[in-house]
Each structure stands twice: as C-alpha cells, then as structure tokens.
Amino acid sequence: MNIIIVGCGKVGHKLAEKLSQEKEHNITVIDLKYNVVQDLINEYDIMGVCGSCSDIDTLNDAGIENADLLIAATGADELNLLTCFMAKKTGGCQTIARVRNPEYAKWLNVFKEDLGLAMIINPEDTAAREIARILRFPSVIKIDTFAKGRVEILKFKVAPESPVADIKIADMSNKFGGEVLVCGVERGENAYIPNGDFIIKSGDFVSIVCSPEESVEFFKKISVKTNRVKDTIIVGGGATAYYLAKRLIATGIRVKIIEQNPMRCDKLCEMLPSASIINADGTENRVLLEEGLSKAESFVALTNIDEENVLLSLFAKTKMTGKIVTKVNRIAYDEVLDGLDLDTVIYPKNITADYILRFVRAKHNSMGSNIETMHLILDGKAEALEFRVQENSPIANVPLEQLKLKDNTRIACINRGGKIITPHGKDTIEPKDTVIVVTTHRGSKDISDILI
C-alpha cells in the first residue's frame, strides 16, 4: 500500500516505525519541521516531504493521487480533519484522523460520514478504555479482548506462593479444570509460546486465553483477587482522566481527580458532576495521603510528565496495596521501566499505532480470511490475531493435528457463532469461524501465513 503519514510527533513516529517493519508498504511522511522529517528518513526506509499538510502542493509532492491511505496525526484536530477532507477530494484515498478534543465526541459519526473517514482514533479515549478494562480485573497486568468481548487474553505475574508455580502446562487443566489455555510466558528477557511440557516458574508473566467467565473461575482457583476496584484516585485532569472517569463512573466506581489548574477543575466539575474534583498539586505526597491514598483500591498517574507519573506510582506502591496504573508517553524508556515493577504501564501512542496497524493489515489481506482484531502481547515480542475464516481457506475443515504450523505459532481459540472452543488436536476450523492465533512471526495478513 502507498501510505502517507501527516505529522511526525510521537504517534506519527511510532506509525512510521511499525508500518516500515511490514516491508510491503511505500511510506511517505509530512511535517513542517525539516530535521524531524530527515531523522525519520534516515532511521527507516521511507520518504519524506517538508511542508504544510493544508497546502495542496505539499500533498501532491507526497503522492496523494496514488495514495491508498492517508493518516492525519498532527497535534491539531481541525488540521487533521481538513487534511483528510482534502486528501479524499484530491486523491480519493482512504483516510484516518486523530481527533482528541472531548467536545468533538458527539460529532464523530457526523465527521466520519460527511468527510468519508475510514477511522477516527483518539489516543486519550483509547488509553482510558484500556485502563478501565484493567481496573475491572485489578490482579491482571494487561487484558486484550477478541470476538467482540467473548474471549480475552489476560497477563498476570506468578507469585512465589501461587499454585501455578512449578507445574507443567499440560497438568493445569487436570489441577484447576476449565477451558483455559496458556498462550505465552515471559521469563526475564525471553518470551515463549509454550507447549504442554513447559514448566511455569515463580516470577513468570503468564498470558492465558479464555472467556471472561472462565477467567474469573480460574483466578479464584489459584487464589487471585477477581473483583473490580470500588474507587480510584487519578492524578492529572487531562483528556485521558476525563474519558477514564466517565467510563468508571458509568460502572459504579467512585472517582477522585486531583488537578492543579483551577480552571480545569471547574471544567471537570461541569463535565463530571459525579466525580470528586480536588484542586491541589497531586505530586505532593502530603496531598495524596490527605486524600486517602493508603485506603484507595486503585491509583492512576495521568500527568503530562512521564517522570512525575513514574515517581507518583513508585510512591503509591509504598503506601497502598491496590492497583496502580502509570501512563507513559515516551516509549523509548520501556526497558528501564520494566525493571521498576510498576504494575501496569499504559503507552497511549503505542495503543493508537496498534489500532491503525490493525486497520492497515485488514485492508491488505487476501481472500482466505480477514483480520478482525490484533494485539501485541508478550511485551511486544508476539502478536495475537483474530482471523475470520472464509470458504476457500486452506485451514478450513482440516483437523488441527494435521496442520503444519510455523514454529512459535499456536491456534489459541475458536469462536463458532459465539460458542468459544478451546482447540484440541481433533478439532477442525470451519468457514465463518473466527480463530485467535498467537505467533512470534510478525506481519501475518492471512490465516495461511501461519502455515509452513
């Protein structure tokens, strides 16, 4: 595909990185800053144009007439929408716009229809959705959903006293029952897609595939807390905090937001009348303790400064036993953060790039299947993809034990009309099923890509 990325900030940079790794796209970036464009050209095998995306000559220089997709990811919502409109009228390509302002939320469907947008993405709302999902199941580090919420991949850390420690994966179903499949294990720097002989150890990060109902039963059996949090303290009252609070309040969770800017506090009081809004400096330890940090069931650090969020979370960890979530924008520091044991870390730019990459994959598939959902798992070392299987798929109606899969590839789940099947050797995949595949091989676009 010929893809144009407008805006080379954190999201644009991450998109350029991920799409260039696909090796099958011609990518051109546009930005006003010459040095930013040059840095990206030098770092990745892409082209670049320096100029304003609202200038039709700049779009023409970037090859808008031959483009298949334009992604507008500048810091200005209005500019993104204008650029998509111009691209649609000039080149007829599909367009994706980043729109962040909560005041535009009620107009998103109108924008999408009238401007012919293929997708509208909001990094803050997307991050809020991920955090809300985590707070529903606080003992889990990460939750990815598939099959319209019927299937989840949940990541948790094995405690020293856990009954899961030091047992073979093949023995888990006999010991704990249920239809739970281990699809990945992280141990130190290594990631595994394990077979039945793999032995889980204390300190491992284990990812399982199952339905939400099965996950609750499984975690109860291994003595892991399964009930959602009752309250949360959020430091930072930006857009992510607003979207998160709105979601949490709708599910009955009490929300307290600590924000330093008095004008922003007034605005939050108007938009979130059910939340407690505190006008104070949330980075002061005294303020956090006075507002009940030690008794809170969860804490979310959402300031605009990564270092503040990390330090706040480390402090919270010494004062409370509840769930802690940390927002980090600069993805380059993820290896350093892994060593701090911060509980759950959310990278909004990464999540946004993954959503867009999933769209690009789906548009680039062949006739054998469609990509419905895609998530990066095992700390980005593997992909979990949900394919919809068509009549002519090479895997249809063949017993799984007869399929010749690539190494480090596993069929983790079959969804047949809403019925969730944990796959075994004698099972077959039928047309119209959706299938969840976990693999360390990147870039799969069709179900046939998992075969040797």
Q: Give me the sheet containing 254-259, strands edge to edge.
A: 276-279, 254-259, 231-235, 298-301, 323-327, 344-346
Q: pLDDT band at 332, cuts 50/70/90? A: low
| DSSP letter for each residue of 323-377 | EEEEE---GGGHHHHHTT--SEEE-HHHHHHHHHHHHHHHHT--TTEEEEEEEEE
The pLDDT assigned to 327 comes to 94
**Phi/psi of residue 426, nearest 5 degrees:** -80, -15
Instruction: Report pLDDT digits (tens) over 88-100.
Output: 888 889 999 999 8
Mean pLDDT on 172-199: 90
At CA 210, angle to CA 120 and CA 243, rounded to 5? Answer: 30
Query: 280 pLDDT exceeds 60?
Result: yes
399 DSSP 8-state letter: B
Query: 365 pLDDT exceeds 60?
Result: no
Mean pLDDT on 161-179: 89
Q: pLDDT band at 334, cuts 50/70/90? A: low
Query: 104 pLDDT exceeds 60?
Result: yes
Please tell us whether the domain made up of 138-221 is placed in CATH 3.30.70.1450: yes
Residue with more model confidence, 236 or 225 = 236
The pLDDT assigned to 101 comes to 85
Instruction: Report pLDDT digits (tens) over 67-76.
Output: 999 999 999 9
Q: pLDDT band at 367, cuts 50/70/90? A: very low
Q: Which of 3.30.70.1450, 3.30.70.1380, 3.20.20.70, 3.40.30.10 would CATH assign to domain 361-450?
A: 3.30.70.1450
Instruction: Report pLDDT digits (tens) over 317-328.
Output: 999 999 999 999
Q: Give me the sheet containing 419-421, strands edge to edge.
A: 369-377, 382-389, 434-439, 409-416, 419-421
**Of 305, 254, 250, 266, which Cα lies nearest the Cα of 283?**
305
What CATH code would you report for 2-121? 3.40.50.720
The pLDDT assigned to 392 comes to 85
Query: Which residues, in sequence order, are CB contacts of 237 under 8 Å at separation 6+?
Result: 257, 258, 259, 261, 264, 265, 268, 277
Please answer whether residues 182 and 156 qualify as being in contact, where contact means their C-beta atoms are separated by less than 8 angstroms. Answer: no
* Domains of the chain, residue spans: 2-121, 138-221, 231-321, 361-450
The answer to whether 138-221 and 231-321 have equal CATH topology is no
Residue with more model confidence, 355 or 128 = 128
What is the CATH superfamily name and number for domain 231-321? Answer: NAD(P)-binding Rossmann-like Domain (3.40.50.720)
Query: 282 pLDDT exceeds 60?
Result: yes
